[in-house]
């Protein structure tokens, strides 16, 4: 019921989808960018409904409280404690290795605020689990959600981030001043 509502809302607000996950890809990491507004969640869930894919996604643990915990969990949410450094990357790689089908969406910026650089966890997960990265976005200017193409990381993070940066360079965020392209230190 919740997924149907988001799907309806997405279409009603005039959004459209492009691309998708090729049927032969059963496991992948999706980059969710730009992530500058709470509206990204609503439109993102609606778009995923139209793409007809079951996705797990990472979100800060503070969201998983009553009365929203059940909704976030039912929509595929995985609570992340951002105050703890630890084995989240390894845990997700293990999840990939234990299943035949898994799609994990990660907001690579790690927050809705402007950041100087993107988190690299999505990349390390894809390399460690030997799965492709699907680059996804919400473009608020064109009201378009795109999913794809599949990108297989080479292990050369600098070159791969250049490829990712080129993909996102013309995407229009809800709050443009909060979106930064992926850079490394």
Residue span of the structural domain in which 53 resides: 2-170
182 domain-assigned: no
64 domain-assigned: yes
184 domain-assigned: no
50 burial (CB, 10 Å; 0-12 / 13-18 / 19+) is middle
Residue 107: its pLDDT value, please?
84
Please provide the DSSP assignment of 132-184 as one string: -EEEEEEETTTTEEEEEEEE---S-HHHHHHHHHHHHTT---SSGGG------
179 domain-assigned: no
CATH number of residue 86's parent domain: 3.40.1130.10
177 domain-assigned: no
How many whole angstroms separate alpha carbon 11 and alpha carbon 145? 11
13 domain-assigned: yes
82 domain-assigned: yes
**Predicted TM-score (pTM) of this structure:** 0.85
The pLDDT tens digits of the residues spanning 103-157 come to 999 887 656 666 677 888 899 999 999 999 999 999 999 999 999 889 999 999 9
- The secondary element (H helix, E strand) that includes residue 95 is helix 88-97
Q: Two tokens at 73?
A: 């969990």
State whether residue 120 is helix, strand or coil. coil
Task: Give the CB-side neighbour count of residue 147, counting CA atoms within 13 A.
Answer: 22
How many domains are there within the chain? 1
180 domain-assigned: no
């Amino acid at each position: 019921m919740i997924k149907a509502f988001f799907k309806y809302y997405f279409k009603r607000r005039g959004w459209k989808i492009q691309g998708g996950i090729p049927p032969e890809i059963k496991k992948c990491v999706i980059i969710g960018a730009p992530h500058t507004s709470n509206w990204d969640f609503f439109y993102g869930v609606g778009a995923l409904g139209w793409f007809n894919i079951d996705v797990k996604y990472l979100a800060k643990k503070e969201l998983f409280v009553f009365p929203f915990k059940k909704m976030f969990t039912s929509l595929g949410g995985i609570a992340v404690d951002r105050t703890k450094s630890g084995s989240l990357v390894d845990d997700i790689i293990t999840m990939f290795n234990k299943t035949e089908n898994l799609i994990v969406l990660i907001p690579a910026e790690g927050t809705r605020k402007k950041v100087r650089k993107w988190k690299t966890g999505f990349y390390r997960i894809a390399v460690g689990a030997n799965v492709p990265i699907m680059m996804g976005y919400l473009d608020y200017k064109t009201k378009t959600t795109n999913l794809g193409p599949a990108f297989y990381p080479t292990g050369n993070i600098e070159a791969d981030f250049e490829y990712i940066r080129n993909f996102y360079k013309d995407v229009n965020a809800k709050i443009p001043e909060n979106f930064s392209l992926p850079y490394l230190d």
